[in-house]
Amino acid sequence: MMVMDRSNRATAPTAPAPGAQAEATAEATAGVYGPLKISAQGVDVFYGDKQALKQVDLDIHENQVTALIGPSGCGKSTFLRCLNRMNDVIESARVRGTILLDGQNIYDRDLDVVTLRARVGMVFQKPNPFPKSIYDNVAYGPRIHGIGSGKAELDEIVATSLERAGLLKEVKDRLHEPGTGLSGGQQQRLCIARAIAVNPDVILMDEPCSALDPIATARVEELIDELRENYTIVIVTHSMQQAARVSQRTAFFHLGELVEVGDTEQIFTSPRDERTQGYITGRFG
């Protein structure tokens, strides 16, 4: 069950947690970055009795790629799943704190989670196309949200989405063959096409390349860079090279805490925290 602690909402923004230099960094560079898209304030996540995230404050800006890095089990995927409330489906998960999407708390009781997920799309670690045709995979989202009435309009949406995901050329002759018949890299791009077909503001990517070979990975990374123009992207990755290649901002998580957040270049060249230093130089993780 999801439990929102409302008392935290009022206090979190005014009383920044210790080590929240992230806030300061964000404010200082707000001019450079686009407008604020998502603002997480004092987010705690519990799985049963175990606390997976501790007082995370993180700002995510529009039209840029924010990478979440950190060793396994550090809570970066957990945080990502808070952003579209995918943790709701986990029985034992509890989330506390505030996450503002365009200034509105997504954990507000009045907020419709289906609408939220239409605005915040997600791509998973393992490509998970529906066992349906390529066309139906992409058209599913628009269909359930009533976007694109009529076949012509839906065809248009499917074609644009596949085009944007860089997959149209490869599949346009076999749109009605099963999506599960594609290669791993193509499947992942199909999942990206599926996510952008409902025209979200934000795309969350949970290690989208970890099941792909280097060539498919390069293709997806290229795609992420192109998508940045129209979407806000948050990506969890295990590969620091990938974070360095695709992201403009990087947040380093360790043991459920947000250790450091800043410009990707700054994080990789002159980290402020020694844990970040240790991780990016490969001393642990």
Q: Output 129 or 256, the one with its CB closest to another protein.
A: 129
Q: How far apart are CA 279 and CA 69, in angstroms?
A: 9
Q: Output 85 or 254, the one with its CB closest to another protein.
A: 85
Q: Output 89 or 152, the one with its CB closest to another protein.
A: 89
C-beta of 117: minimal distance to another protein in Å? 4
Q: How far apart are CA 80 and CA 86, in angstroms?
A: 9
Q: How far apart are CA 285 and CA 281, in angstroms?
A: 10
C-beta of 112: minimal distance to another protein in Å? 9
Run of H or E residues at 273 = none
Q: Output 84 or 247, the one with its CB closest to another protein.
A: 84
What sign for the dihedral angle of Cα 263, 268, 269, 273?
positive
C-beta of 47: minimal distance to another protein in Å? 14
Q: Residue 70 region, left (φ>0) first, then alpha (ψ -120 to 50), else beta? A: left
C-beta of 141: minimal distance to another protein in Å? 4
C-beta of 115: minimal distance to another protein in Å? 7
Residues whose CB is less than 8 angstroms from the CB of residue 228 and which lie 6 or more positions away in sequence, other chains included: 63, 64, 65
- By CB under 8 A, name the binding residues for another protein: 1, 84, 86, 89, 91, 114-118, 121-124, 126, 128-131, 140-141, 144-145, 180, 191, 194-195, 197-198
Q: Output 69 or 195, the one with its CB closest to another protein.
A: 195
Contact 250, 67 (CB under 8 A): yes
